[in-house]
A and B are shown apart, each in its own frame.
Chain A
């Protein structure tokens, strides 16, 4: 038989990346003012897990810890929406929870906890079928001692898709 195949070469060379959910583990950098070199900044880790609930939306649990001029830990839960556009998966998320300053800090000599909200965007780029690389930025809002604080949290690292 001549010529006709079931799949074109371009189709044969593509692999669909599953996305029922994912787990992310990465480095995170927190800064109150990223455009100012003198601004206080903290570095640490960020772990999050997502479980798809709807076609484009999933539930997210996000935990992070940073230390530098001060130390803080975040426990956030919420919603992430995203879709795959060819090779990459851009997403946006809204997370609610708490941020804790576990040690003596600017606001008190004892640990304090604040309600927190993070609105963020990010993008996943697949490396292999189950592994992607994530770059994420979140605007983290907290309120300590009556003062609303906004921080930019940047996270980067590998994502395990399942």
Chain B
């Protein structure tokens, strides 16, 4: 399975151009510090109750002190450094947008996978999904008896799939008004939000691995027509056969993905935010954000255009 490769490539591509996605880019023309940027401040004002956001008024020194844990291990929420913004009772989870963004990501992944495994996609008389139910049940049966390993290199299962999971988790977060503005913290709201992201991630991952539009239905893994092979990819299989399906992905994607996502939250709060407060240098800020939050940047590329029109090209007279 080349899932991990395509996810990795997609995320790298998306994150490479995420500079233009960052909210700080809205302030670039004014050449002001981020804390003075109206767009950022207005965004904070629209967030929800119980969310602890770093104030735009603090300086680097105060921020460092405010971020330091106290003796009990909790983080101080002094009024000068954190604000609790107003609730927005009308904002529920954006189901349509989240499903559309997830389907877009699924289409990108399938686009690459179908291309790289075109022979297997069309192996049943040239028709994709041919003998659907017969092959689907066979694949599920193979998966149940396949054990942990699916035959992919370790970094596919332990790195690539968690990246996929983190991206779908961020799709849930960016469509959840209750969790979108939350930063890493020891609050119930934060961990509940990230648990919901993990559940979205698990649902997408299960669909990708075993669902009706999955690798097994599209590429015929675990079916009679695509029999097992050796670890080195050779045919026919003699011993220690692999089938392309295994339980590793269905476990590691939600678990590793949620861990990756929380890791990016942690880096965002304790490094990226400090850099933002410490320097007005837009390039440095955006570079740090993209370097330390690449998957969030990738997911951000999938957001719906809330203004109804994409960034236009400029035609010079």
A binding-site residues for B, Cβ under 8 Å = 13-20, 52-57, 78-79, 81, 83-89, 94, 96, 114-115, 117, 119, 124, 126, 128-129, 132, 139, 141, 143-146, 148
| B312 proximity list for chain A (CB < 8 A) | 16-19, 84
Complexed CA–CA distance, A119 and B107 (Å): 12
* A-B contact sample (8 more), CB < 8 A, given A117-B118, A119-B112: A14-B316, A14-B317, A15-B315, A19-B311, A54-B100, A55-B303, A114-B126, A115-B127
A-B interface, 8 closest residue pairs, ranked by CB to CB distance from nearest:
A94-B111, A55-B305, A84-B313, A16-B312, A143-B122, A13-B317, A17-B313, A15-B315
A sample of 18 cross-chain residue pairs with beta-carbon separation below 8 angstroms, ordered by A number, consists of A13-B317, A17-B312, A18-B309, A19-B311, A52-B305, A53-B100, A54-B303, A56-B301, A78-B111, A81-B108, A87-B314, A88-B313, A94-B110, A94-B112, A94-B115, A114-B126, A117-B114, A143-B118
Question: What is the distance, in angstroms, from A44's C-beta to the closest C-beta of chain B?
Answer: 23
Question: What is the distance, in angstroms, from B211's C-beta to the closest C-beta of chain A?
Answer: 18
Complexed CA–CA distance, A145 and B100 (Å): 36
**What's the tally of chain B residues with a CB closer than 8 Å to chain A?**
34
CB–CB A16/B121 < 8 A: no
CB–CB B107/A94 < 8 A: yes
Q: Does B302 contact A (CB under 8 A)?
A: yes
The residue on A at minimum CB distance from B111 is A94
Q: Give chain B interface residues in 100-137, CB to chain A under 8 Å.
A: 100-101, 104, 107-108, 110-112, 114-115, 118-119, 121-122, 126-128
Q: Give chain B interface residues in 261-317, CB to chain A under 8 Å.
A: 301-305, 308-317
| A19 proximity list for chain B (CB < 8 A) | 309-313
Complexed CA–CA distance, A90 and B315 (Å): 15
Q: Does B17 contact A (CB under 8 A)?
A: yes
CB–CB A84/B309 < 8 A: no
Interface of chain A: mostly helix, strand, loop or mixed: strand
B112, B118, B121, B313 — which one has the most chain A CB atoms within 10 A of its CB?
Answer: B313
Complexed CA–CA distance, A58 and B110 (Å): 16
| B112 proximity list for chain A (CB < 8 A) | 94, 119
**Which of A15, A115, A145, A146 is B314 in contact with, Cβ under 8 Å?**
A15
Complexed CA–CA distance, A13 and B108 (Å): 37
| B59 proximity list for chain A (CB < 8 A) | none
Complexed CA–CA distance, A19 and B122 (Å): 36
CB–CB B114/A148 < 8 A: no
The residue on B at minimum CB distance from A13 is B317
The residue on A at minimum CB distance from B20 is A83
The residue on A at minimum CB distance from B312 is A16
The residue on A at minimum CB distance from B314 is A14
Complexed CA–CA distance, A159 and B291 (Å): 36
CB–CB A89/B313 < 8 A: yes
**Which of B119, B308, B309, B314 is A86 in contact with, Cβ under 8 Å?**
B314
| A52 proximity list for chain B (CB < 8 A) | 305, 309-310
| B305 proximity list for chain A (CB < 8 A) | 52, 54-55
| B317 proximity list for chain A (CB < 8 A) | 13-15
The residue on A at minimum CB distance from B109 is A94
Question: What is the distance, in angstroms, from A20's C-beta to the closest C-beta of chain B?
Answer: 6
Complexed CA–CA distance, A86 and B313 (Å): 5
| A146 proximity list for chain B (CB < 8 A) | 126
Q: Beyond A54-B304, A146-B126, A148-B119, is A13–B316 a contact (Cβ under 8 Å)?
A: yes
Q: Give chain B interface residues in 114-162, CB to chain A under 8 Å.
A: 114-115, 118-119, 121-122, 126-128
